[in-house]
Amino acid sequence: MNAIQWLRSLVFVAQIYLAMLVVGIVFAPYALFSRDGARMACKTWCKWVFWTARWMVGIRTEVRGPIPTGDVLIAAKHQSFLDIMLIFHSVPKGKFIMKREILWTPIIGLYAKGIGCIPVARGKRGAAIKQMVRDVDAGRLEAGQLIIYSQGTRVAPGVKAPYKVGTSVLYKELGQPCVPVATNVGVFWPRKGIMRKPGLAVVEFMPTMPEGLPREEFMTVLEQTVEARSDALLHETGFAQERLR
């Protein structure tokens, strides 16, 4: 059974990257000159991935909670590429803080730039955040939902990793509310490898945290909120958690 699921997963992974190429080429004339076009292309591909995931490998997707539509900072749990797609597809004008290397990835880099993502150089996150804040203040960045992964990388289900200070810096400097996001997608779509497992993959938008909280309070509440809800979502899947401290 695992061998069959692995083969189904292999076909699934191959076809979504082929679909990425096709969508990227078809939408390129529109996306190159329009941020709306770039968003439309990315959301079209996301819909294809969600639809094929359901019948090819048995992954159903669900988005819970109030979806933010105004100017907010979204601080999300990151377990795999699937949570990126679910968050982006849900919000109207999402853009990510991402590793600069992604800009050189075929198709993905072009469209990441097209939707307004903020590239951050490894080891220079502080400088990049300051530059981004300056760009926002100068009006050079379009309003919308800025998405940051507070742990700075993909973290496997059940594994503990520290929350980075960059989220609190952005929260303070931008002066915007923050929406925490929890997830369990890593159980079904792991951060590495081919295997995809059937089940219900969830991304959940939590109640908005108001602007202006003290830094320590903000980080404590953010981490407790995201981790507690992510643990609850993992529990729904029957995931046997091993706390790695």
Q: In the chain, what's the furthest Cα-to-Cα distance?
A: 56
Angle made by CA atoms 149, 179, 52, in degrees to the nearest 5: 65
Place of tokens 């061998």: 3
What residues does each domain of the chain span? 60-237
Residue entry with tokens 């159903």: 60
How far is the C-alpha of 101 from the C-alpha of 93, rounded, in Å?
22
Q: What is the pLDDT of residue 141?
A: 65
Lowest mean pLDDT among 92-101, 120-129, 140-149, 187-196: 120-129
Question: pLDDT for 183-209, tens place per residue?
Answer: 999 999 999 999 999 999 999 999 999
What's the pLDDT at 174?
86
Beta bridge partners of 76: 149, 181
The answer to whether the beta carbons of residues 86 and 185 sit under 8 Å apart is yes
Q: What is the model's pLDDT at position 245?
A: 34
* Mean model confidence pLDDT for the chain: 90
Cα separation, 142 vs 239, whole angstroms: 39
Is 159's pLDDT higher than 60?
yes
The pLDDT assigned to 103 comes to 79
- E strand or H helix that includes residue 190: none
Q: Which letter does DSSP use for residue 93 in this model?
A: T
Task: List Cβ neighbours of 243 (8 Å cut-off, separation of 6 or more).
Answer: 158, 160
Average pLDDT over residues 9-27: 97
Q: How far is the C-alpha of 226 from the C-alpha of 49, rounded, in Å?
A: 25
Q: Which residues pair with 98 in a beta bridge?
A: 119
**Under 8 Å between Cβ of 117 and 110:** no
- Residues in CB range of 130: below 8 A, 6 or more apart: none
Measure Cα distances from 40 to 23, 53, 68, 88, 152 in Å.
10, 20, 18, 11, 27
Residue 12 has pLDDT above 60, yes or no: yes
Which residue carries 């709306």 as its tokens?
Answer: 36
Average pLDDT of span 156-176: 90
Q: List Cα–Cα distances, 41 to 24, 32, 243, in angstroms.
A: 7, 11, 39
- pLDDT of 243 strictly over 50: no
The CATH architecture of the domain made up of 60-237 is: 3-Layer(aba) Sandwich (3.40)
Q: How much of the chain exceeds pLDDT 70, in percent?
A: 89
> What would the mean pLDDT of 30-58 be, rounded to a whole number?
96
More confident residue, 19 or 142: 19
